[in-house]
Amino acid sequence: MGAGVIVTNHRRRNEGQPAHGRKSSRRVAHSHPASLATSAANEWLWGWHAVVAALGNPARKAPARLVATSDRARSLRARLLAPGMVEILDPAAIGRLLPSGAVHQGLALAIPAIEPVTLEALASPPSGVLVMLDQVTDPQNIGAIFRSAAAFGARGVILQERRAPALSGAVAKAAAGAIDRIYHTRVVNLARALERLEALGWRAVGLDARASETLAEVLDGSATVLVAGAEHEGMRRLVREHCDALGRIDMQGGFDSLNVAAAATVALYEAARRRG
């Protein structure tokens, strides 16, 4: 797949010479000038794994802007993963397009957000494991949970419509490409979603550090929704009441709880072991 390239030198003429010793401001013509535009409908992704996964996802819409260092652009073209146009920028120029502190690894992509599927599409037929997040809002935690869900073969992740951040930026970076490898859905009301899942044949197991039984004791290998609540607050009352069972992670070493992403990873492993 051929990729047009734009090479951009961002120095002004009175700011001195380019690194290679010659003034340069050349652009290589391409056939899609509109691809340089970005809009509020597009979200920035950055980092090698997140961008490569998005470019390789056939369900994604066409990117609005793809920027890379020269080395990263060569790597993309070698993998045939740079449709359309790549704009060559230096690392500092890429960083200026992104939120402060974004570790972009020489690569960033502006692209429409990935679309969620419906709850029914995600949950039918009932088998395997789903992960539901109740008031988990930290991008690093959500990204890490997506990564673990993909690694342990979960069917998908259920997020709340208004309380979970967009699957872009820091979430996508922390997920290392997993948001493009595993389905997700967004629902308005988690308790009602659990009612619907029960009707579809799913069993809900809530992660609770104070539960009387361990996860190993309550997981039975059936189609299971693992429900994880925010750190400190845990699951809300109505969500907890819609769980069929509550299970704790049996720990030693003086700790009684884990970070929500770490707890979800342990639970996903335990659920995969039960299915296996």
Domains of the chain: 4-112 (no CATH), 119-275 (3.40.1280.10)
pLDDT one-digit tens code per residue, 167-195: 999 999 999 999 999 999 999 999 999 99
Report pLDDT for 254.
Answer: 58
More confident residue, 1 or 158: 158
Give dist(CA 168, CA 146) in Å, integer: 12
Residue 62 pLDDT more than 60? yes
Give the range among 29-33, 41-45, 106-110, 260-264 with minimum mean pLDDT: 29-33
C-alpha distance across the termini of the chain, in Å: 40
Query: 55 pLDDT exceeds 70?
Result: yes
Give the residue carrying structure tokens 């060569």: 74
Q: What angle do CA 181, 186, 276 make, to 5 degrees?
A: 45
Predicted local distance difference test score (pLDDT) of residue 255: 64
CB distance 109 to 169 below 8 Å: no
Backbone angles phi, psi at 241, to 5 degrees: -65, -20
SS3 of 133, please? strand
Structure letter (DSSP) for residue 230: B
Average pLDDT over residues 72-79: 90
Mean pLDDT of 90-109: 97
Q: Is the dihedral of CA 220, 223, 227, 228 positive or negative?
A: positive
Kindly report, residue by residue over 194-237, the tens digit of the pLDDT.
Answer: 999 999 999 999 999 899 999 999 999 999 999 999 877 789 99
Tokens of 228: 């994880």
Dihedral, 131, 137, 138, 143 alpha carbons, nearest 10 = 30
Q: What is the pTM of this model?
A: 0.84
